[in-house]
Chain A
Amino acid sequence: MDYRVSLAAWGLALMQALLYAALAPLLMGWVRKVKALLQNRRGPSLWQPYRDLHKLFGKEARMAHTASVLFRAAPYIVFVATWLAASAVPLIMTGLPTAAIADIIVIAGLLALARFFLALAGMDVGTAFGGMGASREMLVSAMAEPAMLMAVFTLTMTAHSTNLASVVDYQLAGNVLRPSYIFALGSLMLVAIAETGRIPVDNPATHLELTMIHEAMILEYSVRHLALMEWAAQLKLLLYGALLAGVFVPWGIAQDFAAATLLTGLAAILIKLAVLGAALAVSETVLAKMRLFRVPAFLNLALLLGLLGLLSHVILEVGI
């Protein structure tokens, strides 16, 4: 894997990172729009999340008097860690130097860092709902992370590298049906639903605090801090969508830096994210939210799928 470590490559990497930040609210708006259409409503416009962020950034900040430095700093840490993790995932092109800095394990670690500070911020102000949300989030992520790593190890063992760009390139190079990838896809989809807090694990649109997981931790935030937390959640959804689309359906991604291939890559990823967003909206409409004590069973299924992917890689694909 040769990384072009030139100035042009770094410029394109920066542009991809900015594109991530710009596209994240659009994906959220698209998911909400499709959900509304499925419920026979017109729904908010596609650009409403941008308007919400703009509104939140313009207001004066107020904070609880029990808030500490951690509470003020956490939104910035969460946003930057999530954005950094997202910029390492190939969106339009694969040969970028950011893909060389962070492999899949580092991406998982950055997301864990963001989650850690999110949970601390939830507990910082001392409200009951924040503590409850933080402990629930830790329960879900403690079970989701082994499942994600198991699925990731399956991909890694196939491509012989933990680097996401290498995994995507390997998948593009061969046209093979792999049973291990099918299991890894199932596992990663379940983990993505759990980590981004969508139905059936957590309802992102709920107003009942006793059913919240992610919303409960950011309940005390307002204005620009809330904007950063929401933007970070949208970035996380885009990260997982780009991961699923890039690794399992990589056709269309640009492998060199010509303008035509970059535009094809952009069009391809927009189509794939639109399809994934619509699928997410359909699954959220069809499924009901599980009670919290059934979420470990859900994540055990994800772990089992990851484990079966690993086993079928070793049994069915390697030892031929």
Chain B
Amino acid sequence: MSLEGLSVLSQLMLVLAAVALFTSFVLLEQARLVAAVHAFAWQGALVAMVTALVAASGHQVHLFFSAGLTLGLKALLIPWMLHRLVVRLELDRHRAPLTHPALVIMAAVGLVIFSYWLVLPMVQQEMLFTRNIVAVSLAVVLIGLLMMVVRQQAVAQVLGFMSMENGLFLAAVSATGGMPLVVELGVAFDVLVAMVLFGVFFFQIRESIDSLDVDRLNRLTERVEDEG
């Protein structure tokens, strides 16, 4: 079965998955937090579109609902909350470029190749073309993890975590045609609660160490104790 044998919906799904991989690269490289939040919003929108296409081609109605939920949550609500947080933390004009951008991008490309190599054995189970989308979504997860490793800013690390969740959702949608609706609802609201908690934590961290650079959490603080 080659590319010409697939339906238009399936080809469109491949295109959207590839563009979602591109947005995870953009997210990794972005120096400005507001632009990174926008890239994350686009990634969520693309994942929602892939879900809608899977729903349309497989005629599963509940996937339309989860596509709408992903769009509302991952593309609209969480980016809006993050944007509001960034503005309140006064980080919207702040630039934090990567220290070794070429090395990081090469590592990300290496992760894409690695994740493709990982899913190659799945061909024996005669999966359809969605196996390749599983490779792409695993790459999105790993690049999100790389982002959490490379970035020192707390907000950027949260974005990496959220994009990992995007990748996992894309893998679930493409590999098994979505999860049971109860599981999806649970995961979605867990992510929302995590987002609210992150918001609280940002202010707490900033109050204690006066910056959001999580490397500074390693430094010892000396507290002057009162006599008597």
Contacts and interface: CB of A to CB of B under 8 A. Distances in A.
Co-assembled chains A and B: yes
A177 B12 contact: yes
Contacts of B112: 311, 315
A308 interface: yes
Interface string A285-316: 00000000000000010001101100110111
B25 A308 contact: yes
A111 B62 CA distance: 55
Interface of B: 1-4, 6, 8, 11-12, 14-15, 17-19, 21-22, 25, 101-102, 105, 109, 112-113, 116, 120, 123, 129, 132-133, 135-136
**Band of interface residues on A:** 20 to 34
A319 B2 CA distance: 8
Contacts of B22: 183, 305, 308
A319 B18 contact: no
A64 interface: no
Contacts of B3: 174, 176, 178, 317, 320
Given A308-B18, A308-B21, A319 B11 contact: no
Given A308-B22, A314-B116, A315-B116, A320 B15 contact: no
A174 B3 CA distance: 10
Nearest to A315: B116
A313 to B, nearest CB: 10
A316 B17 contact: yes
A146 interface: no
A305 B25 CA distance: 10
A183 B112 CA distance: 16
A317 B112 CA distance: 15
Given A183-B18, A320-B129, 14 more contacts: A176-B3, A178-B11, A182-B15, A182-B18, A308-B21, A311-B112, A311-B116, A315-B116, A315-B132, A316-B14, A319-B120, A319-B123, A319-B132, A320-B6
